[in-house]
Structure 1
Amino acid sequence: MDKLFEIESFELFQNVLQQILANLYYSESTSTMPYIEAETVQVAKQELILIISDCNYDLQKIKDVIRSKDWVPEKVKCFLDLLEANKSNVLYSAYNHFNSSYCETVLGYDWIVKLILGTSELKTIKYPLLQLVMTTLNKIGKPNKILYEADKDMLLKIINSLESLK
């Protein structure tokens, strides 16, 4: 990141940082940043990702690490302001990146609850009471549909677990 803070034009510096924060975990063509080498951008992204993960995604710790560097104070302030303005997007992309690296990402879900009135039917019920349909995206980008079903015994365990959280 040292090379980024050596950019002389403040406007160019700000534009490069905005592009990096917007595409931190995604590779991007350097056509939007023609004055900066692609390798410099990738190294800066990797350093920022390392700082974020070393600070355990705590924004205050990240700011402290950035402030501790020997960079131009005006550019540090600009960087911290951009980071603050984009913190939701940065943390969301970090979460998605981590989640996609180790498991599938949930794109959407829907659930169905079947209500049974009367205790005599409940004792003889053989079909699921709760169904959860999830659409996930695996590492290679292929969407999957997953169906989870919970019968009365599993539903009772879920309810008891939720009630014990009080």
Structure 2
Amino acid sequence: MNELLTIGEITSAYGINGEIKVLPLTNAPERFYDLSFVYISNNQCITKHCIENIRLLKNSVIIKFKNINNRNDAEKLRGCLIKIDEKDAIALKKDEYFIKDLINMDVYLEDGNFFGKIIEVIQTGANDVYVVKTNDRSILLPAIKQVIKKVNVDENKMIIHLLEGL
């Protein structure tokens, strides 16, 4: 099996017929329409579920799985993550990266000095925010062109320009 990518988190059951409500963890929620199955992870095991129906609802995705037919079964999935094979991931645009590729990335200042490591990516809507662990604290860096100067996933390296006040 290829590496799995997380694309959503199940937040609740939806209705009484086994549908679930999903918080999309992707910039393209419409990408769910291209899927015939997903993997559901609950930290203990990963199970494959075939999709019967999908629809977008405001900031959520509503999914009906073929084997989940009532609210009680759907409710058991609350908090689980929806994952897909990496080979099924959508193509990234220029200057877009998978979160998994950014976590633990080494961050350097423009002068070449080591700054820290990315420990978390916060998705805010306007732009992502990278949480960088330095020697003595965590710094929040906005993922904007004025701050992020270069990202090299192959070398696991990011070069940044610290704006005044950061």
Fold in common (TM above 0.5): no
RCO (CA 8 Å, sep 6+): is it higher in 1 or 2?
2
TM-score (norm 1): 0.29
TM-score (norm 2): 0.29
Structure ID, larger Rg: 1
Kindly indicate which of the two structures has a greater share of residues assigned to helix: 1
